[in-house]
Chain A
Amino acid sequence: MKLATASVTPVTYDQLKWLCACLALTLIAHLAALPIWLIVTVCAAAAIRLGLAARGRTAPPRGIRLCIAAVSITLLFLQYRTFNGLAAGTALLSLMAGLKLLELQSHRDFHIIILIIYFLNLAALLHSESFWLLGYLIAVSWLTSAALMRLTISTPPPAWQPSVRRAGRVLAQALPLTLILWLFFPRFDGPLWQMPQDKQGGESGLSDSMSPGDISDLAQSDDIAFRVHYIDAPPPPPQRYYRGPVLHDFDGHTWRRTHWDPTPVPPLVPMGIAYRYTLSLEPHPHNWLFALDWPTRWDLPGAVLTSDYTLVQPAPVSRPADIQAVSYSQMRTSDALNPAMRRRDTRLPPDRNPRSILLSQQLRSTHPDDMDFARAVLALFHDQPFFYTLKPPPLADDSVDEFLFESRRGFCGHYASAFAMLMRAAGIPARVVTGYQGGTFNRYADYWILRQSDAHAWDEIWIEGRGWVRIDPTSAIAPERVERGLNDALVADGPLAGRWQRHSPWIADLRLRLDALGQQWRRSILQFDQKSQDNLLVMLYISEPDGHKLVMVLAVGLTLALLWLTWQVRREMRPPVKDPLVRAYARLCRKMANIGVPRRLHEGAEDYAERVAGLRPDLAAELTVLCRHYTELRYGTSKAELAFISGVRAFRPRTR
């Protein structure tokens, strides 16, 4: 009899069904990242192949398959312009799995799809690092292994449970090994080689320009920008300004960041209270970081301060980053303002916003002192009927004119923009600072959450002798915003869509708890690195941990784990051991049978002893004790089990 070798055995409908299910479960994890047409193609391929298999037919003709493959791969290339990198690679693999499914005929094709499924599971984990996703993907891999086992078993059992159970046992036995490998496998600082960076991370967030309405759009989002943990006491609410990009160039409507910045960084003399904190930044598509005003020290390699005190790094923040930094509540710049900076920060488009320029000049004539003038403008915002709202009307080109004299309804960006423009019109250097302000305290894990809804814009003006001074015009119109946060400031707007959760205390509480757990997950698992490994070794009483010691611990741990595995795998094979008590009693009966007094099948232990006492009075005492022990141990609550077993061992009846 010839056994067909596995590589050419046709695949059955049942196996195909399992494979399609596993592939579908894997693709669910990629659903958001894959283009729709690709998902449709893969689903169609699976449906066609399953339909054919259900009718007992094999793959569609080669010509059709080649056509589909050529068209879809071309489409893929047009979409991504590359096959390299995580996103394009994932899409390509998914497509290949679908195409392979279409032409699937032998077990070898099946094997390839199984391997693709495993790799897609990994790719999903590179995309997102959520705890739930890890659990889900491990479950998918479990099912995939079960499907693979069903494929290898040539005489499949009718039910699927045995395969799932067996694959589950393999998975369970693999977990200790995995843990040891993961804990002690040496980590490297950087990547082995540079991979093309995908655009990833949060799409929302501050950008390098600000038009009227930008920040209020952003404030609708509940996405988290970063979290801050203060090592000592946190700063009071009016000082919780987290600095982001500083905007200098104003075209009458939009403020923009200057990309080319030749001016040297003015020395910064910190004053006031020092705040030490850890800022955990979520990824965003730009290269700036956020820091509490005013940052003086930070531990992120490559990060530098620009001339306007924004912390930037060379590459965009594509991965979550932890920054330990120190900021001071106040600072002063001893030098005079650099002329180039002064020119930059007093420049205005001459032909825009004429009414505002006029207003500024009028006010200036009565307030020659710079600080007085600034206060007068703030008083203007405060006294005139200006409103703070998240739904400001759209503004045309001369945005400041329109805002100051017509709509008078605006969000923080409107006020910051108008204020800076009025300052510049009066010849005072002014710039718009964007960033975040306030935050929500998470009492479950002692940190502050800064969401996109905490995005804010304020101004800095140059006062001779004092340097850059922070002025927040929003505080003039809605002081609650700075003191207590957006929700309290926006009472006039009523509850907003997407914000109702924060009005429901228990949902807000649950969110905080989940966020705290997520942070725990991130710190202990996602950010596990060389330092954590060193700490681990110290916990294992290994002093001065280094790479060599780590590898040695890994080797020892693996050896132990493999020994355990061998033992475990053999142990499962052993037939179940009978109760030692029952065995000992059986031995007792055997011994008695050998001297010619066997126990009758119907006799209980005590009856037996009684009967033997009549036949062999010399054995009566010993046997009665043993049998009573047995009865007690088996049916009673006595703890004399060991005494009984050793009693039997010592009992040596002889034939008379």
Chain B
Amino acid sequence: MSTWRQKAITRLRAWAARRHGEDALPVTIDRRRIYILPTRFGLMLAALIVAMLIAGLNYNSNLGLAFAFLMASIALVAMHHCHRNLLGLGVDVNVEADAFAGEDAAFEFTLRNASAVDRRDIEIHLVADAEALKSVGANSDERVTVTVAAARRGVMRFSQFELRTRHPFGWFRAWTYVQGSLSAFVAPQPRGDRRPSAAAAEGSVPRSEARGEEEFAGLRTYTPGVPLKHMAWKVLARGGDAAVRGYTGLAAQPEWLEWSALEGLDTEARLSQLCRWVLANEAGYRRAYGLRIPGAEISPGWGAAHRIRCLRALTLHQAEPSSPLEPRR
């Protein structure tokens, strides 16, 4: 049964994708894209209402009938409320997320409720195990993080995500598909204990010992992730903006992180080692570094953007076209 159901869902998702086409985020959920079906509990309730009707008719009881009709009407109203819980909901999401293999990629969703009623229990469903639940009050926004387990290096692409709700009584499930391309760039797991290549061997001495050779070269503005020992605390104490001491040598001797320096390792191990070097260089905040791998060369630099470029290059290296993850309920 579950395979039958999965097939049906897969087909429905594909059909919804064809029907609605690519969505431009942010999306406001309109009536045409909300689907609604009774849950198992809802079907049980339907059977109960039929039993109530039969009992009312059989005992010729007008009050019994009235109660059965009341339950049926409540179910109908609940269906409208369930549908309304999604209707007009605004959704936005950061379409790119970064992660290292073995960790979680986090997508930041924003749910916007511009209506005058609370929306309770909106479930965001990316794939199985990547779900989140949130209630959004009237006239307010809520941020929701959905995390996806990133097992392997590469790019995880999601062409679609789903918003669901069972509010108010769990008798109905309303859902909608949003065709938004989400990508999780999963960098290699930083691993390996090789030193950087011979060409930059002099840079491989422990940083604390190398400190003496560096010359102070002015202040830079603070960016998160800088080691505390590089903070210009005096500047901060004088009431200035947070600043970081920069050193010469950075520009003078760019370090090249070379694919070719890692002979004897397989592809993933090389990428992991390179990844670790990139992180070490950034964390050390010491000197510019460049990355050279087959098919990509990134000229020396440093900083958050540079780091991302390097990591993305490692991520995308010979990355297999991402297999669409099986949607599952």
Contact with B along A159-171 (1 / 0, CB 8 A): 0001000110011
Selected contact of B54 from candidates A3, A86, A149, A192, CB within 8 Å: A192
Chain B neighbourhood of A185, CB < 8 A? 65, 69
Selected contact of B58 from candidates A148, A181, A191, CB within 8 Å: A191
User: Is A181 a contact partner of B69 (Cβ separation < 8 A)?
Assistant: yes
Say if the beta carbon of A137 comes within 8 Å of chain B: yes
| Contacts A170-B78, A170-B81, A569-B81 given; does A525 touch B63 at CB 8 Å | yes
Interface residues of A in 114-141 (CB under 8 A from B): 115, 118-119, 121-123, 125-126, 129, 134, 137-138, 141
Say if the beta carbon of B226 comes within 8 Å of chain A: no
Most A CB within 10 A of own CB, among B63, B68, B117, B170: B63
Chain A neighbourhood of B118, CB < 8 A? 162
Chain A neighbourhood of B78, CB < 8 A? 170
Closest to A190 in B: B60
Chain B neighbourhood of A635, CB < 8 A? none
Say if the beta carbon of B159 comes within 8 Å of chain A: no
**How far apart sit A154 and B121, CA to CA, in the bound complex (Å)?**
7
- Interface size class on chain B is 35 or more
Interface residues of B in 42-93 (CB under 8 A from A): 44-45, 48, 51-52, 54-74, 76-78, 80-81, 84, 87-88
Most A CB within 10 A of own CB, among B116, B146, B170: B170
Give B163 Cβ to nearest chain A Cβ, in Å. 13
Contact with B along A166-195 (1 / 0, CB 8 A): 110011011101100110010010111101
Say if the beta carbon of B168 comes within 8 Å of chain A: yes
User: Is B131 a contact partner of A6 (Cβ separation < 8 A)?
Assistant: no
Say if the beta carbon of A75 comes within 8 Å of chain B: no
Closest to A573 in B: B115
Give A190 Cβ to nearest chain B Cβ, in Å. 8
User: Is B167 a contact partner of A153 (Cβ separation < 8 A)?
Assistant: yes
User: Is B66 a contact partner of A178 (Cβ separation < 8 A)?
Assistant: yes
Chain A neighbourhood of B231, CB < 8 A? none
Closest to A571 in B: B116
Closest to B133 in A: A154
User: Is B121 a contact partner of A153 (Cβ separation < 8 A)?
Assistant: yes
Task: Give the total of A residues in contact with B, Cβ under 8 Å.
Answer: 62
Give A346 Cβ to nearest chain B Cβ, in Å. 45
Say if the beta carbon of A81 comes within 8 Å of chain B: no
Chain B neighbourhood of A576, CB < 8 A? 116
Say if the beta carbon of A155 comes within 8 Å of chain B: yes
User: Is B131 a contact partner of A2 (Cβ separation < 8 A)?
Assistant: yes
**How far apart sit A162 and B167, CA to CA, in the bound complex (Å)?**
14
Say if the beta carbon of A575 comes within 8 Å of chain B: yes
Say if the beta carbon of B169 comes within 8 Å of chain A: yes
User: Is A111 a contact partner of B60 (Cβ separation < 8 A)?
Assistant: no
Give A136 Cβ to nearest chain B Cβ, in Å. 12
Say if the beta carbon of A216 comes within 8 Å of chain B: no
Say if the beta carbon of A602 comes within 8 Å of chain B: no
User: Is B73 a contact partner of A181 (Cβ separation < 8 A)?
Assistant: yes
Give A557 Cβ to nearest chain B Cβ, in Å. 12
Selected contact of A119 from candidates B51, B69, B81, B134, CB within 8 Å: B51
User: Is B45 a contact partner of A573 (Cβ separation < 8 A)?
Assistant: no
User: Is A174 a contact partner of B62 (Cβ separation < 8 A)?
Assistant: no
Selected contact of B59 from candidates A6, A119, A126, A162, CB within 8 Å: A126
Selected contact of A115 from candidates B44, B66, B76, B129, CB within 8 Å: B44
User: Is B73 a contact partner of A574 (Cβ separation < 8 A)?
Assistant: no
Say if the beta carbon of A1 comes within 8 Å of chain B: yes
User: Is B54 a contact partner of A122 (Cβ separation < 8 A)?
Assistant: no
Say if the beta carbon of B35 comes within 8 Å of chain A: no
Selected contact of B115 from candidates A141, A174, A574, CB within 8 Å: A574
Say if the beta carbon of A654 comes within 8 Å of chain B: no
Say if the beta carbon of B41 comes within 8 Å of chain A: yes
Say if the beta carbon of B139 comes within 8 Å of chain A: yes
Say if the beta carbon of B123 comes within 8 Å of chain A: yes
Chain B neighbourhood of A111, CB < 8 A? 41, 44, 170
User: Is B116 a contact partner of A1 (Cβ separation < 8 A)?
Assistant: no
Interface residues of A in 276-335 (CB under 8 A from B): 319
Selected contact of B55 from candidates A112, A126, A171, A527, CB within 8 Å: A126
Give A291 Cβ to nearest chain B Cβ, in Å. 23
| Contacts A181-B69, A573-B84 given; does A122 touch B52 at CB 8 Å | yes
Say if the beta carbon of A593 comes within 8 Å of chain B: no
| Contacts A111-B44, A118-B48, A191-B60 given; does A153 touch B120 at CB 8 Å | yes
Chain A neighbourhood of B132, CB < 8 A? 1, 3
User: Is B146 a contact partner of A1 (Cβ separation < 8 A)?
Assistant: yes
Most A CB within 10 A of own CB, among B65, B114, B118, B139: B65
**How far apart sit A17 and B78, CA to CA, in the bound complex (Å)?**
24
**How far apart sit A319 and B84, CA to CA, in the bound complex (Å)?**
44
**How far apart sit A150 and B80, CA to CA, in the bound complex (Å)?**
18
Say if the beta carbon of B197 comes within 8 Å of chain A: no
User: Is B139 a contact partner of A575 (Cβ separation < 8 A)?
Assistant: yes
Say if the beta carbon of B147 comes within 8 Å of chain A: yes
Selected contact of A137 from candidates B67, B88, B170, CB within 8 Å: B67
Give B153 Cβ to nearest chain A Cβ, in Å. 22
**How far apart sit A140 and B123, CA to CA, in the bound complex (Å)?**
30
User: Is B64 a contact partner of A167 (Cβ separation < 8 A)?
Assistant: no
Chain A neighbourhood of B116, CB < 8 A? 572-576
User: Is B67 a contact partner of A573 (Cβ separation < 8 A)?
Assistant: no
User: Is A191 a contact partner of B57 (Cβ separation < 8 A)?
Assistant: yes
Contact with B along A539-553 (1 / 0, CB 8 A): 000000000000000
Give B77 Cβ to nearest chain A Cβ, in Å. 5
**How far apart sit A458 and B32, CA to CA, in the bound complex (Å)?**
78
Most A CB within 10 A of own CB, among B54, B66, B115, B134: B66
Give B132 Cβ to nearest chain A Cβ, in Å. 6
Chain A neighbourhood of B135, CB < 8 A? 153, 155
Selected contact of A6 from candidates B52, B77, B166, CB within 8 Å: B166
Most B CB within 10 A of own CB, among A1, A86, A177: A1
User: Is B51 a contact partner of A152 (Cβ separation < 8 A)?
Assistant: no
Say if the beta carbon of A55 comes within 8 Å of chain B: no
User: Is B115 a contact partner of A152 (Cβ separation < 8 A)?
Assistant: no
Could you list 9 A-B pairs, sorted by A, with CB under 8 Å?
A: A118-B48, A125-B67, A145-B169, A149-B168, A152-B121, A193-B58, A525-B63, A526-B62, A573-B116
